[in-house]
Structure 1
Amino acid sequence: MSAAVGIEPLADPREVQIADAEKPDIYQRTWGLQARVDGTVTFEEYVHWAKIERAEEHEANRVYKEMQGPMSVAKVIKGRFSKGIHHEEKKRREAAQAEAIRIARENGTGTDSEGKEKSDAVAVPTPEGAVSEEEWRVASRALRTASWGTMFYLITTDILGWSTTPFVFASVGYGPGIALYVVFGICAAFSGWILWRVFLGLDSSRYPLLSYGDTFFRVYGKKSRHFINVTQSLQQFMTVSVLILACGQTIAQLANESICFIACMIIFMVIGMTLGMIRSLQRLGWLANASVWMNIVCFMIIMVACANYGIDYQAVFASTLIKVIEPIRTFAGPPPDAFQQQAFGFAGQFNGINSLVYSYGGALLFVAFLAEMRHPWDFWKGMLAAQSFICIVYIFFGAFVYGHYGQYAISNIGNAIQPLRLQQVNNVLGLITAFVACLLYFNIGMKTVYIEVCQEVFHWPEITSKKGKLLWYALGPIYWIVAFIVAAAVPNLNGISGLVGALLILNFTYTFPAILYIGYRCQIDAALPGEGFDPHTGVTTRHDSGLKRWVRGYMVNWHINTMNVIYFLGGLVCSGMGTWAAIEGLIAVFGPGGTVATSFGCAAPV
């Protein structure tokens, strides 16, 4: 239910020039990180190099699989702590080269110096300061190490938020609940497919795509990228703040409020600062893996509790409109007003639908995930597996708990189960999984701030350099401290984050991918015979431009583009309705009789 952003940039030379001796027929220019947002690079050039990149990745993946051989448990464990296939490949090449030199010296008749001269004689000379094609390619892909299996765990950790699913069923009933989870699951998967296709079509080592905003830059220009980067940074920052607040509440509950609430939040913040030193998503893969399984244990605990024990009605009365104990009721369709928890009529049902829509939010991070994949073609496997798993979990868990708790299936279902010990175990595991998610959002959000603001605006060194790493370690704690201050100081942060979710999370997941694909498809399909990028001269040829070109591109696949227009408008409608609901809630909270209480104090917020 989130969303994000920039990733750790590839270890790419800042202004690398490929050795002319190796590539004499390719037009030379600045490539790599600095060129990824170069306004002089045309759409056609991005597409040209992306096609070459995909072909090279396909061949590299074939060789990699042959070298790996059959998979084993030991290889899986070793891979979790490996520096990546490119690092291992470099070590193998160096070892092979050393062995070749040793054999040559043993078989030769000259001295070591003569052997060295022979070795040097076979080397291809390159201009001073130039980098060979092979060296540049290895450097540019140094951090692309994640597999599609890692993608499954990262996407599941990013999106999976099953705790509100019983509340959704309690708001809309069995039939609409199952249907809507399937429909929105398909929509979320479609959005992921769009981002995957755009990434494959525009990303290359020469012009790497690192963030959601980069895709919009290459399709719509600089202003769209700035808009995306600002909004995604805000969303991820708010997500970290909300999780700090929520986990502080969990810690306080586990401590029976014997620890000052503000201290509980500080504890979580300090842990986040410490583990926030991890910069690569590959290193977070094993944490995400563990988080998925802990999530499974959590909802199994809740299912056991609701099937065998009673309901904590005080938790229900404290957080819903229901104030009396009645027989448990379930409904195939929308429940009557008397059984709604948050509001009456359509507003009551829409509260549940709102939670359902947000439960698939997370597409914002997909580009960041793709940018760290060794073989991005395989992303669809991890995404499809993750989205299918998430949809099944949502439907099964939500329907199961609703069947036992009926109208008492509240949104914070973990607080409504009995006995207390099971509730505490569930809260501990929930705290850990929330922390992993928080770490993931921080990792991506912090990289976005560093790359898009510090590096691009203030010209800080690359994050892969020694100085860049030190600055990352220094800036990380500041990010956590500011997020902590916001979490503690802003009244009703959850309500405000709901507004941010309606405006941002939903749009990043459903609305923005649709409009992105329309622009991408139009530019691809608008090409005429004789147009395109010439790598020998660096010139892009177009026979026309302007509205005429866009209309021609739209009409080539008008049915696909029209479907995306409808999808885009549907996303805007959902966003508008969610924003309306969030604003109404904020008016009720901050209006007459409301509260402006903050979390600076020992008492936990209501």
Structure 2
Amino acid sequence: MASERISPEWNEDPSDPDKKELAQAHVKAVDYSSSATTQPSFGTLLYFAAQQRKCEEGGLGSEGALGRDDLADLPADEVERVNARRALRAATWQACFFLVVTDIIGPSSAPWAISQLGFLPGIAVYTVLGVVACYTGLLLWKMYMGLDSDRYPVRGYGDLAEKIVGGWARHTVNILQSVQLIFNVAVVILGNGQSLSQISHGRVCFSVLMLIWTLVGMIVSQLKSLRKISWLGSACVILSLFGIFINVGVVPHSLPNYSGALNQLGVVQGPTITELIHNSGFNGSLVAVMNIVYAYGGALMFVEFMTELRRPMDFWKAMCCAQVFIYVLYVFYGTFIYAFQGQFSMIPANQGISIYWAQTLTNCISLVTGLIVAALYGHVGLRSIYINIVEDLFHGPLLSSRRGMLIWFGAVVGYWSGAFIIASAVPQFSNISGLVASVCILQFSFGIPPALHLCFSLQRDAVVLHPEYDPSAVEPVVTDSWKGVGASEWWKRAVGRQWWLKSMNLTLALAALAAGGLGAYASIESIIAGFASASAATSFTCAGPV
């Protein structure tokens, strides 16, 4: 594979002063000849990442900071992996915008969440969490830009945690990531099973409908690169907006779906009631907040998106634009539907429409968008499992190889089968969403990023503020550490700069951890209460929950 190495642009015109400067940066970057598989110091990671960013700003794009001759000191299999990662860096930030929106967008729970809180608290929670979600997304981007390089790549959320905290953090993140994504797929299976049940008027067994959707998901998840589904991101956004417009246009001219609200929510038919502030009890309010958290849960895949961007430095544009778009959509859609349907607002919201043609059309749209989202979740979840378990732990074949494709096929079947079992065992859309939001999404989107950035900034400042620090040195001189001899000086440098930002990140991380514990408790209590309800669907049942 060495003959397939990618030639960087600066070799083409060495007489160009700008290219010559970049060439010198390349040569300096690879003077550090230790294997990419060894664990480098934090200062070394900062150095190589800085060289990578310099080359990208100079126009090398996906070619990165390692050239044809610069890979000579690496093993052949590592060269192959570097070239494979380079080939995947093809997405633009505009394409990434649609992927981020596709990943996050989920307004179907907004009317129900606002019905549990009332207009004022509902809008306030959406606003606060939207701002925090954007902030934590920027933290992930800053850490990625500060640590990623061709020689020591950040391939996912787990890699980022490992480079900052250690190997145990990577394993913890990867386990939580796998749990979240399989629960996300379970929610997609459950929601689309409900859509098919409404379309068929309940004439087909609900478990069979979810099984059909599971089989479809297995087929779609055979795609192994985001490049093959990135164009579907824009289609998903357009279809989602089309479904929302239909719902907004129909709801003012029709009655709520009283029978569906009774089966799902236990709300009996009566006058529609809306409130500025609604008290649904501790558990009800907390589950509603967790559903709002779930609606903003996209940070888990942000690092994956950065790894496939041609220019990772542009990720902030895609993420910020996506967050603003999603916030406006959530608040408008949630308040509008709640204003007309009140306590009968269902989840997903389109299933609260009583007119059959509109209900069927929006359900069909949900099926298509759900398929796209499921492909996205399945791709990232399975890719993370494959890289971290098959390639790294068991030293298995590359995903692009024939054996890798066979293993991928088996992983897809197992992954979707597990999601089907979860969806069938707990057919409660809002409660299962609240549970996964509490345990995983809240931490990935609001807790882990500030915690990681706190550790990142402490180590970075301790290195760069060292009296003998030389930014041009591959291995910066560090004569002390956070423990042992010289610890007091290390902590002075680490904490002294931007102490207020470090304090804010620590507070945010602890608050997310506490809120996650409370949310998990409330969701579990709601699941127990849901099964105790006479109108609730049971596990592995043929009777649908709507």
Tell me the distance in 1 between the aligned counterparts of 2:211 and 2:507.
Answer: 46
Which of 424, 432, 441 is the aligned partner of 2:377? 441
Q: CA deviation at 1:173?
A: 2.4
CA 1:426–1:493 in 2, change beyond 3 Å: closer, same or farther? closer
Q: 1:329 matched to which residue of 2? A: 273
CA 1:464–1:28 in 2, change beyond 3 Å: closer, same or farther? farther
- Aligned partners of 1:523 and 1:550 also within 8 Å: no
- Aligned partners of 2:43 and 2:476 also within 8 Å: yes
Q: CA deviation at 1:543?
A: 1.6
Q: Over the residues paired in the alignment, what is the CA RMSD in angstroms? A: 3.1
Q: 1:522 matched to which residue of 2? A: 458
Residues 1:409 and 2:345 are matched in the alignment: yes
Equivalent AA in structure 1 for residue 42 of structure 2: F
Tell me the distance in 1 between the aligned counterparts of 2:298 and 2:481.
Answer: 35
CA 1:602–1:194 in 2, change beyond 3 Å: closer, same or farther? same
Q: Secondary structure at the match of 1:60?
A: coil
Q: Secondary structure at the match of 1:141?
A: helix
Q: CA deviation at 1:459?
A: 1.4
Tell me the distance in 2 between the aligned counterparts of 1:493 and 1:407.
Answer: 17
The structure 1 segments of at least 4 consecutive aligned residues displaced by more than 6 Å after TM superposition are 123-131, 133-137, 591-596
Q: Secondary structure at the match of 1:311?
A: coil
Q: 1:26 matched to which residue of 2? A: 31
Residues 1:431 and 2:371 are matched in the alignment: no
Q: 1:503 matched to which residue of 2? A: 439
Q: CA deviation at 1:595?
A: 8.1
Q: CA deviation at 1:259?
A: 3.3
- Aligned partners of 2:531 and 2:538 also within 8 Å: no
The C-alpha deviation readout for 1:244-272, integer Å capped at 9, x for no partner, is 23322322322233433333223222222
Which of 469, 474, 495 is the aligned partner of 1:531? 469
Q: CA deviation at 1:202?
A: 0.2
Deviates more, 1:177-186 or 1:489-498: 489-498
Equivalent AA in structure 1 for residue 332 of structure 2: F
Residues 1:560 and 2:501 are matched in the alignment: yes
Q: 1:317 matched to which residue of 2? A: 262
Tell me the distance in 1 between the aligned counterparts of 2:298 and 2:70.
Answer: 48
Q: CA deviation at 1:200?
A: 0.2
Tell me the distance in 2 between the aligned counterparts of 1:125 and 1:57.
Answer: 16
Tell me the distance in 2 between the aligned counterparts of 1:55 and 1:530.
Answer: 23
Q: 2:240 matched to which residue of 1? A: 295
Q: CA deviation at 1:540?
A: 4.5
- Aligned partners of 2:156 and 2:303 also within 8 Å: yes
Deviates more, 1:298-307 or 1:234-243: 234-243
Q: CA deviation at 1:213?
A: 1.0
Q: 2:22 matched to which residue of 1? A: none
Larger helix share, 1 or 2? 2
Q: 1:459 matched to which residue of 2? A: 395
Larger radius of gyration: 1
Equivalent AA in structure 1 for residue 228 of structure 2: R
Tell me the distance in 2 between the aligned counterparts of 1:51 and 1:195.
Answer: 16
CA 1:464–1:41 in 2, change beyond 3 Å: closer, same or farther? farther
Tell me the distance in 1 between the aligned counterparts of 2:170 and 2:321.
Answer: 30
Tell me the distance in 1 between the aligned counterparts of 2:128 and 2:165.
Answer: 29
The C-alpha deviation readout for 1:421-456, integer Å capped at 9, x for no partner, is 000000000111111111111100101111111112
Residues 1:51 and 2:50 are matched in the alignment: yes
CA 1:330–1:269 in 2, change beyond 3 Å: closer, same or farther? closer
* Mapping 1:7-22, distance limit 5 Å: none
Q: 1:420 matched to which residue of 2? A: 356
The C-alpha deviation readout for 1:524-579, integer Å capped at 9, x for no partner, is 111202236876xx644212112432453022221110111121122123212211
The C-alpha deviation readout for 1:356-384, integer Å capped at 9, x for no partner, is 22211111111011011100111011001
The C-alpha deviation readout for 1:306-328, integer Å capped at 9, x for no partner, is 122222222222233532412x3
* Mapping 1:390-409, distance limit 5 Å: 390-409=326-345
Q: Secondary structure at the match of 1:323?
A: coil
CA 1:252–1:402 in 2, change beyond 3 Å: closer, same or farther? closer
Count of aligned pairs: 511
Which of 224, 245, 257 is the aligned partner of 1:279? 224
* Mapping 1:71-150, distance limit 5 Å: 140-150=85-95
Q: 1:94 matched to which residue of 2? A: none
Unaligned runs of at least 5 residues, structure 1? 1-10, 14-21, 65-84, 87-122, 338-343
Equivalent AA in structure 1 for residue 162 of structure 2: F
- Aligned partners of 1:45 and 1:533 also within 8 Å: no
% identity of equivalent residues: 32
Equivalent AA in structure 1 for residue 185 of structure 2: V
The C-alpha deviation readout for 1:318-353, integer Å capped at 9, x for no partner, is 233532412x33333x13x5xxxxxx4444433432
Equivalent AA in structure 2 for residue 375 of structure 1: R
* Mapping 1:232-251, distance limit 5 Å: 232-251=177-196
Residues 1:268 and 2:206 are matched in the alignment: no
Q: CA deviation at 1:591?
A: 6.4
CA 1:533–1:217 in 2, change beyond 3 Å: closer, same or farther? farther
Residues 1:370 and 2:276 are matched in the alignment: no
Provide TM-score, normalisation by structure 1.
0.77
The C-alpha deviation readout for 1:474-524, integer Å capped at 9, x for no partner, is 432332233334433567686455323211111111010110000000111
